Structure 1
Amino acid sequence: MKTVIEVRNLVKTFGGRKSWFSSAEHQVNAVKNVSFDLNAGETLAIVGESGSGKSTLARMLVGLDHPTSGTMMLMGQDAAQWRQRGAKAFGKTVQYVFQDPVASLNPRKTIAETLRVPLTHLCDYAEVQQKQKMQQLMQAVNMPHDALECYPHEFSGGQAQRLAIARALAAEAKILVLDEPVSALDVSVQAQVLLLLEQLKQQFNLSYIFISHDLAVVESIADRVAVMYLGEWVECEDNNTLFSRPAHSYTQSLLASAPRLIADTH
């Protein structure tokens, strides 16, 4: 099976300089020696409480933050080489889908104008090709074609997230990093977006890094699940194994604290 991401001993440290108020050095180790692989066509979920390092790791995977140390390979090439080739090369390889869909879309641009940016600058589509591609993207995310002429504030949260996903697909990247993509949505809308993500994965041969704190969502979509705690990668197993036989004590407590519905059998 082809490996699309290889991460080895990735570290991200913030601070380390003397503050104005103290001669002591303040340093935060947000990600500590994380190593993992992502296979083509796989959904790898990363779970953990707030402050565990999930989003910092996600930002490094898409090139928004640079690692302090360690290596990261994307599609068999060192991520540093992708960065040297510029944002265009990196953006065509991996795309980020943000938690807040409305905030992640430019409020001053129509959806067509938003989609035109990656189609023009990352994929070099001519204007005639862009119109055709936009219509295909609207169909892929189950949105009407006239949505292209609307602004982000005209859509519900679920619709806006579909459009944010369409923007990521416009770059034709094969890896999507989804950072809490359904946490801001109602439960019924969450199910629709999760089903859409699964359909798109098959249609476009995508691979997902799925960041979440919601264990129920993770259980429904992930092939493998990794658990982060205080910046460390404490456990990574296939979905069934992790939820039925968690090995690490932190994973056990995390699962035990998740709210569950208790059916009335009487």
Structure 2
Amino acid sequence: MSGSAIEVRNLSKTFGGGRSLFGTERHAVKAVDQVSLVLQRGETLAVVGESGSGKSTLARMLVGLEEPTFGDMQIAGRDAAALRRDGPRAFGKMVQYVFQDPVASLNPRKMIRQALEAPLKLMNGYDAGKRQARMAELLDAVQMPKDTLDRYPHEFSGGQAQRIAIARALAAEAEILILDEPVSALDVSVQAQVLLLLRDLKRQFGLSYLFISHDLAVVEAISDRVAVMHKGRLVEEAPTDQLFRAPRDPYTRQLLDSAPKLRKA
């Protein structure tokens, strides 16, 4: 466990089930079914699969937005359930979530200054002077101008909004980022820019990424290892080069056959 950022064992999530008020049995859906995987410190592990495969439900469990039906989960060697009981501050300082829709993830009524200040103040206890300095550093890290702070989310393009969302995640000073389809809503040229930014930030801040995607071409460009999900289960896991060169599972081969190829930078 000393080298792991995230480790899950037999993690499962079932929606529905049980009986209704009238005694009829409700249909149960296993969104995630006994998934076990490890994200090592400093690596990018991609979890890939088509819509409905369970990958986003897995991501939401990892950040506490969904409660597992059963299974064990550890974050940086600590029990995730115990971390959540310690409160959002303790959990948020270890792992942060970057959403698929960057504009929707930002409060439209608040300036970017407020979005970045909140974690700096509530999680890190920075005073006003230190918050101002840190916000300038974060904007520089994600390649956004200083006047970003005094503008609203609707004033930015999707790519710019995603850079801001990444800066907000970094403001908590967590070393683990769960990235749920972070470039799927962006134009192809902007996707490439954000992927390069994520790679640079990983080196700069010593981050570990769990990268959720349905797009194996994007995954090939950024990941160290790939875990493939299908119908809630993990069907294959391998280093990226190995998986692309010699996939074992028929479902993985199907995904590869349908994906355009990108060379890893």
| 2:53 counterpart residue number | 52
| CA-to-aligned-CA distance 1:161-182 (integer Å, 9 cap, x gap) | 0000000000000000000000
- Do 1:108 and 1:151's aligned partners in 2 also have CA atoms closer than 8 Å? yes
| 1:42 counterpart residue number | 43
* Distance (Å, rounded) in 2 between the aligned partners of 1:147 and 1:60: 32
**Alpha carbons of structure 1 residues 7 and 108: separation in structure 2 relative to 1, 3 Å:** same
Alignment of 1:73-92 (within 5 A): 73-92=74-93
| Secondary structure of residue in 2 paired with 1:102 | coil
> TM-score w.r.t. structure 1 length?
0.95
Alignment of 1:159-170 (within 5 A): 159-170=160-171
Alignment of 1:58-207 (within 5 A): 58-207=59-208
**Alpha carbons of structure 1 residues 49 and 22: separation in structure 2 relative to 1, 3 Å:** farther
| CA-to-aligned-CA distance 1:68-90 (integer Å, 9 cap, x gap) | 10100111110011011001101
- Structure 2: runs of 5 or more not aligned: none
**Alpha carbons of structure 1 residues 181 and 141: separation in structure 2 relative to 1, 3 Å:** same
* Distance (Å, rounded) in 2 between the aligned partners of 1:246 and 1:75: 30
| 1:264 counterpart residue number | none
| Secondary structure of residue in 2 paired with 1:10 | strand
Partner amino acid for 1:187? Answer: V
In the alignment, does 2:224 pair up with 1:223? yes
* Distance (Å, rounded) in 2 between the aligned partners of 1:257 and 1:143: 35
Quote how far apart the aligned CAs of 1:258 are: 2.2
* Distance (Å, rounded) in 1 between the aligned partners of 2:35 and 2:176: 19
Partner amino acid for 2:33? Answer: K
Quote how far apart the aligned CAs of 1:127 are: 1.0
Partner amino acid for 1:95? Answer: Q
Runs (4+) off by over 3 Å:
19-22
Q: Percent identity?
A: 64
| 1:249 counterpart residue number | 250
Partner amino acid for 1:202? Answer: R
Quote how far apart the aligned CAs of 1:260 are: 5.8
Quote how far apart the aligned CAs of 1:253 are: 1.3
> TM-score w.r.t. structure 2 length?
0.96
* Distance (Å, rounded) in 2 between the aligned partners of 1:64 and 1:25: 23
| Secondary structure of residue in 2 paired with 1:163 | helix
- Do 1:19 and 1:26's aligned partners in 2 also have CA atoms closer than 8 Å? no
* Distance (Å, rounded) in 1 between the aligned partners of 2:141 and 2:102: 17
- Do 1:12 and 1:68's aligned partners in 2 also have CA atoms closer than 8 Å? yes
- Structure 1: runs of 5 or more not aligned: 262-266
**Alpha carbons of structure 1 residues 171 and 182: separation in structure 2 relative to 1, 3 Å:** same
Partner amino acid for 1:243? Answer: F
